[in-house]
Amino acid sequence: MKAGPFNPVRKRLFIGLLSASLLGAGLFLTAIWYIAANPTQSIFDQLLLLALGTLLVGGIVVAGFGVGGIVLTILYARDISALRGPMRVAVNIFFPLALALGRFFHIDRDRIKKSFIEVNNFLVKSKALKLLPKQILLLAPHCLQKSDCPYKITVNMDNCHRCGGCVVSELLDLRDKYGINMGMATGGTLARKFVQEYHPRGIVAIACERDLTSGIQDSNPIPVLGLTNERPFGPCFNTRVKVPKVEEAICFFIREKGSLAI
């Protein structure tokens, strides 16, 4: 499956904020060098500032290659393996700065996070990943279950009676159809427990923007395809997800029949 069509508005938002954060770090570096060159500073202070500036230079250079790698990957829809490390550095270090810049410019945080998820999904889909079903983990939030359902399924998903009152039964059908692993998490701690238990090579995660962004970063370098849930009744209550989109994400990861095990 090829990476999805280019959505310039969403992707450009995150990449633009990432680039602006990089520029801000460059300006901060300039200020450090200016202060360090001031003759009124003691030798100790100058050495300390120079050491800080050197570290910052290294981070900016690596992150610069990372931002460039993200842009090139999106433009050519191809994975650039040599720049995977710098791309991770760019996202992990400068993502908080991108959020801070967004707050300064009064850009909605969820909009920025959606842009991040869009970029992440594109980067994942640019890779030639073909996994066995047992190497795939579907992570779903507990709020997909109908709130008045009497059956607890976070510990054992097979407690679901598949009445069709919520999408959980459809997700279980996908689990059984493709033979993948599945976990329903009440939060990040339980989600991490499922990752440690199943040792996946690929994750399909359903959550709100906040949990998805933190989960994608926590799971790094495991590739995660993130799907935001729909919240017609507000957060964490009777949420929904487009099941065909979930199936599409699962199918992206699955190896072709007859191929050798990884």
Q: pLDDT tens digit string along 202-221?
A: 999 999 999 999 999 889 88
Sign of CA pseudo-dihedral 119, 170, 219, 251 = negative
Determine the 3-state secondary structure of 141 from DSSP: strand
Return the domain boundaries, the chain.
Answer: 8-125, 133-253
- Spatial contact of 137 and 200, defined as CB atoms under 8 Å apart: yes
Tokens representing 83 are: 């720049």
Q: pLDDT tens digit string along 122-153?
A: 889 888 888 999 999 999 999 999 999 999 89
| Cα–Cα dist 56/62, whole Å | 10
* Residue 230 bridge partners (DSSP): 240
* Confidence at 71, pLDDT banded by 50, 70, 90: confident
* Confidence at 230, pLDDT banded by 50, 70, 90: very high
Tokens representing 247 are: 């199936």
Put simply, whether the predicted model's pTM sits higher than 0.85 gets the answer no
Mean pLDDT of 186-199: 90
Per the listing, tokens 């991108």 go with: 98
- CATH classification (class only), 133-253: alpha beta
Backbone angles phi, psi at 98, to 5 degrees: -65, -40
* Confidence at 253, pLDDT banded by 50, 70, 90: very high
Question: Chain-wide mean pLDDT for the chain?
Answer: 87
Cα-to-chain-centroid distance, residue 61: 23
